[in-house]
Amino acid sequence: MLGVEGLAGPLGRAALLVGLIGAFFGMIAAVTGTRNEDEKVLRLVPRFATLSCVAAISAFAAMEWAMITRDFSLAYVQKVGSKSTPALYNFTAVWSALEGSILLWVLILTCLTAGIVFKYRTRIADPMVGWAVATMFFVGIFFFILTLGPANPFAAGASGVLDGPGPNPLLQNHILVVFHPPILYLGYVGMTVPFAFAIGALITGRVGEGWLVETRRWALFSWGFLTLGIILGSWWSYEVLGWSGVWAWDPVENASFIPWLTGTAYIHSVLVQERRGMLRVWNLSLLVSTFSLTILGTFLTRSGVLNSVHAFSDSNIGPYLLSFFAIIVVVSVALIGWRGQKLHSPGTIDSPLSREGAFLANNVIFSVFAFVVLLGTVFPLIIEALQNRQLVVGEPFFDKLAVPVGLTLLFLMCIAPVLPWRKASGELLANRLFWPAWGGIGALALSVGVGATGFAPLLTFALGGFAGGAALRQLVLATRRQGLRGLLGRANGGMVVHIGVILIAVALAASNSYTHSQEMMLKQGVVATFNGHTFELTGFTTESDARRTVVAAVVRVDGGKSYTPAITKFKSMGTNIGTPSVKSSFVEDIYLTVEPPIKVSSKTVKIKVFIKPMVMWLWIGGGLMGIGTLLSAFPGRRRKPTDATSAPVPTGAVS
C-alpha cells in the first residue's frame, strides 16, 4: 500500500492521463460537432476543456506537493529537489528543469484552452471557433503526450534516495526565478491562440479580417508577456551572472527572441490587413512562424542539440518536438496553399511613402533580423552536419549584424508614426517631422556635450531623440484632443511602447559602448579609486546553512552606503556562484563582483568594478513597453465610418 509520500506520482500520472483523454475527446467533439453542425456534441466541448484544465491543475499541484513534501520516490524530485532548499526555491524548482517546464506549459495551455472555450461558449457552433478550439486541443494533446512520455515529471526514481542536489544554483539565487519563466511561458503558449484561430480561418475559408479581430488582444497579450519575460530574463542575468551584461545571444535567449521578432512584425503588419485588407498570406505566415518558432526554439534548447548555460536539460524529447514542428509547418503551408485563391488581397499599396509602406519595410527588417538570429543559432549544427567540426557563433557575430538592423528599425520608428495611410507628400513629411528631427539633434548635441564618442552610439542617440520626438508628437496630439483617453488604443499605446523601445536602445548603446572596468585588490581600511569613485573594504560577512555558505565582502562606495558582492558555495554541488552587488542610479550603475577565492583572514579581497552608464533606463524602458502594451489593449477612439482614411491629396496629384 502506498504511503502519503508516494501518492503524488500515481496521482500526477493519473491526472495527466485524464487530461490527455479530455483533450483528445475535446478535439474529437470539436471536429465532429463542427463538421456535422451538431450542437449537442459541441456542448460537450466546454466539459472536456474543463476536465483537461482541472486535470492539468491537479497534475501541477501534485508535482508541487511532491516537491514540498520532498517525495524522493519521483525521479524529478531526486533531480531538482533537496531537503535544504528554501520553501520559495523549492516551489519554483518545479519548473527548474525540462519535465517541470513542460508541465508548466501544459498547465498554461489547458487554462488558455478552457478560457477560450468559456469566452466563446455562446459561439461554439461557429465553425471557425470550433476549428480553433480543436487546434488548441490538438496542441494540448501533444504536450500531454510529452509529459506522459519523454518528459514525464512523475516517473518513478531509483529507490533508496533520501535527498537530492536541489535546483541548479543559478535557479535558487534570485527572486526572479518566480516570475521570469512563467511570464515567458505565458508569452510562448499564448501564441497558440492566434495560431489556432488562423488555422480555424484557413479551414473554414473565412480568411478575411474577422479572425484578426477575434485574436488581436490575445496576440497583443502574448507579445506583451513575451516582451516582459525577455526583459525580466535580462534583468535576472544582470543581477545574477556576474559578468555585468544583460544579453549574451545565448541559444536559449535567442529561442525567445526569434518568435518575439516575428511576433513584433505580426502586430505591426496586422494593422495593414485590418485597415486595407492586404497582406493576408504574409500575416498568416508570420503567425505560423511565430508559433512554430516557439516549438523550434524549445527543440533547440531542450533537446540537447545546442548547448546553453540556460538550457538546464539534456533529454530525448528532440524527435517529438521536431516532428511536431514539421507537422505544424506542413499543415499550415498546405492550408495556406489550399486557400490561395481566397487569400488574394483585394487592395494595393499606393506608395512606399505611406504608413503601410513603413510597416512593410519594418516587416522586412524584422524578418531578416529573425533569420539572422536563427541562422547564427543553428549555424554550429549546420557546420557539424556538413564538416563534422565544431564551431561557436557568439556575441560579436550577433552584435555586428544587430547594430545596423537596430539602427534601421530606429530610423523607421522616426518616420512611420507621422506617415499617413495610402500616401504622403514631401511637404507633409517635412511639416510633421520637423520638431521630432530637432529632438534628434538635441539628443545628439547633448550626447556630444557630455563627451559621448563613436559613430554607432551617437547615431543611436540621435535616432532615439528623433523617434522619441515622433512618438511624443503623436501622444501630444492625441491627448490634446481626447485628454488621457488619448493614451489608449493601439496607435497611442503603441507609441508608449515605442518610447520604451527607444529607451532600451539608448541604454544598450550607452552601456555597451562606455562601460569601464577595473580589477582591484582592496585592503581593509584603504580607499581605492576608479573612474571618479572610491571603494573601501570595511569587512566581510559569512552566512552558512545546510545548503550553502555565503562569503561577502563589504565594500563602501563613495564613502556612503556599503555593497556586498559575494561568493556562494552550494555544498551539495560544490559549485561557487558569484553574486554581484549593484549601486544603481539614473546616470550609471556601479557593478561590483568579487573574485574567488576570498581569504577573510588576509583582510584583502580582489574585486572587479564595472561602471555602466544608463542601465536603469533599460528597466524603465521595459516597464514602459509593458504599460504601453496594456494601454494598447484598451479600445481607443473609434473611427467613424465617414472619417477620411487618406492624407490630403492635391488635385491632380493622384495617379
Partner 1 sequence: MKYLKSWPVWMLMGLIVVALLTVGTTRDNGPLTQSDRIDSITKHIACPTCDGESVYVSRASAAEAIRNQVARDVSAGTLTDDEIIGSIANTFKAKVLLVPRATGVDSLVWILPIAVLVCSIAGLWAAFRRWRRDNSGEASSDDVALVEKLLAEDPTDEDNV
Q: Estimate to the nearest angstrom the gap between the alpha carbon of 385 and the chain centroid.
A: 30
Q: Which of residues 606-625 bind partner 1 (CB under 8 A)?
A: 608
Q: Which of residues 288-327 bind partner 1 (CB under 8 A)?
A: 306-309, 311
Place of cell 561557487: 576
Stretch that binds partner 1, among 14-22, 92-100, 126-134, 380-388 (CB under 8 A): 380-388
Q: Which is nearer to partner 1, 250 or 588 (CB)?
A: 250
Q: Is residue 630 close enough to count as binding partner 1 by CB under 8 A?
A: no
Q: Which is nearer to partner 1, 602 or 643 (CB)?
A: 643
Q: Which of 2, 430, 521, 526 binds partner 1 (CB under 8 A)?
A: 430
Stretch that binds partner 1, among 24-32, 45-53, 369-377, 556-564 (CB under 8 A): 369-377
User: If phi over 0 gives left and psi between -120 and 50 gives alpha, with beta otherwise, what is residue 37?
Assistant: left
Q: Is residue 636 close enough to count as binding partner 1 by CB under 8 A?
A: yes
Q: Which of residues 398-417 bind partner 1 (CB under 8 A)?
A: 400-401
Q: Which of 49, 201, 241, 270 binds partner 1 (CB under 8 A)?
A: 241
Is the four-CA dihedral 163, 164, 169, 174 of positive or negative sign? negative
Q: Is residue 576 close enough to count as binding partner 1 by CB under 8 A?
A: yes
Q: Which of residues 512-571 bind partner 1 (CB under 8 A)?
A: 515-519
Q: Which of 364, 381, 521, 526 binds partner 1 (CB under 8 A)?
A: 364
Q: Is residue 388 close enough to count as binding partner 1 by CB under 8 A?
A: no
Q: Which of residues 577-606 bind partner 1 (CB under 8 A)?
A: 578
Q: How far is CA 377 from CA 106, 134, 305, 339, in A?
A: 26, 33, 11, 33
Cell of 478: 492625441
Place of cell 479530455: 22
Please enumerate, as own/partner, the contacts of 158-163 that have beta carbons within 8 Å and a separation of 24 or more.
158/75, 158/78, 159/73, 161/72, 161/78, 162/72, 163/70, 163/72, 163/82, 163/83, 163/84, 163/572
Q: Which is nearer to partner 1, 437 or 620 (CB)?
A: 437
SS3 for 415-452 is: HHHHCCCCCCCHHHHHHHHHHHHHHHHHHHHHHHHCCC
> How far apart (Å, rounded) are the C-alpha atoms in residues 573 and 570?
6
Q: How far is CA 81 from CA 70, 84, 93, 149, 177, in A?
A: 7, 9, 7, 21, 15
Question: What does the buried/exposed string (b/e) look like for 188-217 if buried means 16 or more CB atoms within 10 Å of the residue's CB?
Answer: bbbbbbbbbbbbbbbbbebbebebbebbbe
To partner 1, the closest distance from the beta carbon of 54 in angstroms equals 38
Cell of 230: 525577455
Q: Which is nearer to partner 1, 148 or 528 (CB)?
A: 528
| Collapsed DSSP state (helix, strand, coil) of residue 332 | helix
Stretch that binds partner 1, among 287-295, 336-344, 349-357, 501-509 (CB under 8 A): 349-357
Q: Is residue 441 close enough to count as binding partner 1 by CB under 8 A?
A: yes
Confirm if 373 and 397 have CB atoms less than 8 A apart.
no
Q: Is residue 453 close enough to count as binding partner 1 by CB under 8 A?
A: yes
Stretch that binds partner 1, among 7-15, 103-111, 255-263, 457-465 (CB under 8 A): 457-465
Q: Is residue 274 close enough to count as binding partner 1 by CB under 8 A?
A: no
Q: Is residue 454 close enough to count as binding partner 1 by CB under 8 A?
A: yes
Q: Is residue 421 close enough to count as binding partner 1 by CB under 8 A?
A: yes
Q: Which of residues 475-494 bind partner 1 (CB under 8 A)?
A: 477-478, 480-481, 491
Q: Is residue 385 close enough to count as binding partner 1 by CB under 8 A?
A: no
Confirm if 266 and 287 have CB atoms less than 8 A apart.
yes
Q: Which of 393, 573, 620, 633 binds partner 1 (CB under 8 A)?
A: 393
Q: Which of 420, 468, 500, 580 binds partner 1 (CB under 8 A)?
A: 420
